[in-house]
């Protein structure tokens, strides 16, 4: 599949998606020109999957003072650090400063046209992406969802528990991983807002930007995409 065929395939699933760096620039333009964000006084937090390939899909850190983000997430991008993580993050915001939280699940679309796979650096076979969501869909299909060790494999257990609520929809969907990824975005978005609400007192006097969406990973060496689904600024 050449680049334009791949682009067409990505757009067939995510019509509004754009290059992750283009989305970053557009969001930062709005935050700086319309919302008074000051790069030197802005910290970055992310709630994205543990997978190493999600870190470079967008590049907010290039615009901000923090060279590395505060990591609020875990498998599939769910904000597993919870209230304690959000409180800690709030406490790291520069004086009279700002925070950007970029979050959401990810899905691979390989140049061979596979949904849920990518070719990674140093490998000659495609691997799953997002592996955690693909495993969740597999567990829902074979009826094993919910049977994982919820101590040794807590994050995966929690993902499967949440997605099992929509078991029938996932089983009947023509592209179950796409649906599971969309559903997980909704779960993450809802949870991020709930955690912010719960830890509002810790964010006192600051503006927080929420940048949520689905990261679309492509094969190594190709740009990643971002389907922006939430862009809002909250004042505390």
Q: Footprint of Zn ion on this chain (CB under 5 A)? A: 49, 51, 130, 132
3-state SS assignment for residue 68: coil
Identity of the residue, 49 or 115, whose beta carbon is nearer to Zn ion in the bound complex: 49
CB of 48 to Zn ion, least distance (A): 8
Six token digits for residue 114: 């596979």
CB of 145 to Zn ion, least distance (A): 17
What is the DSSP track for 93-148? SPTT-EEEEEE--EEEB-TT--BTEEPPTT-SS-EETTHHHHHHHHHHHHT-TT-S
CB of 36 to Zn ion, least distance (A): 34
Identity of the residue, 140 or 196, whose beta carbon is nearer to Zn ion in the bound complex: 140
Identity of the residue, 109 or 208, whose beta carbon is nearer to Zn ion in the bound complex: 109
CB of 177 to Zn ion, least distance (A): 11
- Beta-carbon-side half-sphere exposure of residue 117 (alpha carbons within 13 Å): 11
Q: Are 31 and 233 in contact (CB under 8 A)?
A: yes
Identity of the residue, 48 or 64, whose beta carbon is nearer to Zn ion in the bound complex: 48
Tokens 């680049």 label which residue?
3
3-state SS assignment for residue 85: helix
């Amino acid at each position: 599949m050449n680049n334009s065929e791949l682009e067409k395939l990505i757009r067939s699933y995510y019509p509004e998606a754009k290059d992750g760096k283009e989305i970053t620039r557009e969001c930062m333009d709005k935050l700086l020109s319309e919302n008074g964000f000051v790069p030197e006084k802005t910290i970055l937090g992310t709630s994205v999957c543990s997978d190493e390939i999600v870190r470079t899909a967008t590049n907010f850190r290039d615009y901000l003072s923090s060279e590395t983000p505060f990591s609020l997430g875990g498998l599939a991008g769910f904000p597993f650090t919870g209230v304690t993580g959000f409180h800690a993050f709030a406490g790291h915001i520069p004086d009279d400063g700002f925070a950007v939280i970029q979050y959401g699940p990810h899905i691979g679309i390989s140049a061979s046209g596979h949904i849920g796979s990518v070719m990674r650096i140093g490998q000659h076979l495609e691997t799953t992406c997002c592996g955690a969501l693909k495993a969740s869909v597999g567990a829902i299909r074979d009826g094993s969802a919910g049977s994982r060790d919820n101590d040794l494999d807590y994050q995966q257990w929690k993902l499967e528990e949440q997605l099992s609520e929509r078991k029938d929809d996932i089983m009947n969907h023509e592209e179950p991983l796409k649906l599971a990824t969309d559903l997980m975005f909704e779960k993450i978005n809802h949870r991020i807002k709930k955690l912010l609400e719960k830890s509002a007192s810790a964010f006192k006097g600051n503006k927080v930007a929420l940048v949520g969406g689905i990261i679309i990973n492509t094969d190594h060496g190709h740009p990643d995409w971002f389907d922006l689904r939430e862009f809002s600024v909250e004042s505390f």
